[in-house]
Structure 1
Amino acid sequence: MYEYKYVKATLGGFFTEANHHEIIDKHAKEGWKLTQVLPMYYNSNGKPTEYEIIFEREIEK
């Protein structure tokens, strides 16, 4: 059986930096496996501005 974790991430913008590398590295150290990345919100040009990163890990019995 698996448990899942959903984390919001951004690719950055004019005044902000992307944070996806830090999020993935942090969760990998905690035993989470990257499962999927979904774009959640788009700007007026159709470019995704926010993502949801989905992690999974096996539940220890």
Structure 2
Amino acid sequence: MYEYKYVETSLGGFFTSATHRETIDEYAKQGWRLVQVLPTNYNGNGKPGEYEIIFERVIQQEG
């Protein structure tokens, strides 16, 4: 069985820098595996501005 984590991130803009690589690296160190990246918010030109990164990892079953 798997558990999932959904993390919102941005690819940056005029005044901000992208943080997606740092987010992926941070969760990978904790044992999470990248499943998919989904755009969640678009600007007026149709370009995605915000994303949801989906991670999964195996649930350790006791017993």
Q: TM-score range by the shorter chain?
A: over 0.9
- Residue ranges of structure 1 left out of the alignment (5+ in a row): none
* Structure label with greater radius of gyration: 2
Compute the TM-score of the two structures, normalised by the length of structure 2: 0.96
- Percent identity, please: 69
Is the aligned partner of 1:13 residue 2:13? yes
Moved over 2 A (4+): none
User: How many residues align structurally?
Assistant: 61
Counterpart code for 1:12: G
Q: How does 1:15-54 map to 2 (within 5 A)?
A: 15-54=15-54
State the TM-score, normalizing by the size of structure 1: 0.99
| RMSD after superposition | 0.3
Deviations 1:7-47 (A, max 9, x none): 00100000000000110000000000000000000000000
